[in-house]
Amino acid sequence: MQFEHSRTCTNLARSFAGESQAGMRYQLIAKQATAEDLPVLADTVRTVAKNETYHAKSFYDALVRAGGNFDNVSLQGAGYPFRFGTLAENLAFAAGDERAEFEDVYPKFAAEAREEGYEEIAALFERVAGVEREHEILFRFLHGAVKEGALYRREKPTLWICSQCGFRAVTREAWQLCPLCKAGQGYVEIALPFDNGSR
């Protein structure tokens, strides 16, 4: 079977399209966080958007290496999420999308690539799935923290760092204004709770 007629070819094209769209959706969430005066949260989401864009490039490169150039790869039957809500809702949507990728989509694509004899591409799907798992954990945490108004509050003393001037303090709640440079709370680096590997 020619590569361009394989499920692996279609799956790579779908993955390229999906990761490209995820990168753009996350840029829009970052813009929303910026508008809500949460620049550090925006930067965190932009980093994930950059990861997604690199995943898209990895899938694109794999397509080119395996099959060369294509006039068109039909993606009939493929669907891509299109929804937008509050910042908390968008973070929840992102967590759900990432979960679907690492639990269902990429494991299936890896199995099909392996079945068709494309071991290197199967490994690529598995590596990307591992990153998407981490993205889901991050988005799930951010969703809960934004929804509960607890982005800058913890049960235990936590190290908070001002991203503007570097001021640090260990408290249960980050300051409203940095004591040193007076930057707003949105400039405090978001401390992710350590979960002791209980994912």
The answer to whether 73 and 10 are in contact (CB under 8 A) is yes
196 to 69, 114, 153, 188: CA distances (angstroms): 46, 33, 19, 24
Which pTM does this prediction carry?
0.89
> Which amino acid appears at position 64 of this protein?
V
The answer to whether 173 and 149 are in contact (CB under 8 A) is no
Q: What is the pLDDT confidence band of residue 195, given thresholds at 50, 70 and 90?
A: low
For residue 71, give the DSSP letter: S
Per-residue model confidence (pLDDT) at position 68: 75
Per-residue model confidence (pLDDT) at position 129: 98
d(CA 34, CA 42): 6
Report the percentage of the chain scoring pLDDT > 70. Answer: 96
Nearest to 50 by CA among 16, 68, 78, 26: 26
Each residue of 65-103: b (16+ CB within 10 Å) or e?
Answer: ebbeeeeeeeeeeeeeeeeeeebbebbbbbbebbbebbe
Q: Comparing 82 with 181, which gets the higher pLDDT?
A: 181
Q: Comparing 67 with 24, which gets the higher pLDDT?
A: 24
Average pLDDT across the chain, whole number: 92
Per-residue model confidence (pLDDT) at position 81: 72
- Element spanning 150, H or E: none
pLDDT in tens, 106-115: 999 999 999 9
Position 133 pLDDT exceeds 70: yes
pLDDT in tens, 39-50: 999 999 999 999
Q: What is the pLDDT confidence band of residue 1, given thresholds at 50, 70 and 90?
A: low
Per-residue model confidence (pLDDT) at position 115: 97
d(CA 133, CA 14): 19
Per-residue model confidence (pLDDT) at position 196: 44
d(CA 33, CA 40): 9
Per-residue model confidence (pLDDT) at position 198: 44
E runs forming strands in the chain: 153-161, 168-173
Q: What is the pLDDT confidence band of residue 124, given thresholds at 50, 70 and 90?
A: very high
Section 148-174 average pLDDT: 94
